[in-house]
């Protein structure tokens, strides 16, 4: 499932996105990467309600579309 999110990342978001995209992260182990991703998702959940709403409505609309059934 692809999600296109349209929102204004705050300073913290940008920091975490930089962290996730950094060279260190490319060579980090799965656990470290999962930690940062979880931290970012938690931040989005608590600070960017519009993102959560966008994801939810995207999930709902994809469930309704006929193509979605093909990949069940």
From the CB of 7, what's the least distance to Zn ion, in Å?
Answer: 9
Instruction: Between 17 and 56, name the residue whose CB sits nearer to Zn ion.
Output: 17
Instruction: Between 45 and 47, name the residue whose CB sits nearer to Zn ion.
Output: 47
As a whole number of angstroms, the distance between CA 11 and CA 17 comes to: 10
The residue written with tokens 């579309």 in the block is 65
Token representation of residue 46? 């608590």
Q: For binding to Zn ion (CB under 5 A), which residues are involved?
A: 10, 12-13, 47
From the CB of 29, what's the least distance to Zn ion, in Å?
Answer: 25
Token representation of residue 15? 């920091």
The residue written with tokens 């260190």 in the block is 24
From the CB of 38, what's the least distance to Zn ion, in Å?
Answer: 15
């Amino acid at each position: 499932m692809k999600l296109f999110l349209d929102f204004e990342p705050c300073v913290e978001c940008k920091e975490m996105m930089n962290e996730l995209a950094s060279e260190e992260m490319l060579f980090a182990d799965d656990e470290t990467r999962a930690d940062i991703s979880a931290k970012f998702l938690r931040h989005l959940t608590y600070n960017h309600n519009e993102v959560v709403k966008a994801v939810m409505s995207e999930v709902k609309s994809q469930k309704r579309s006929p193509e979605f059934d093909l990949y069940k």
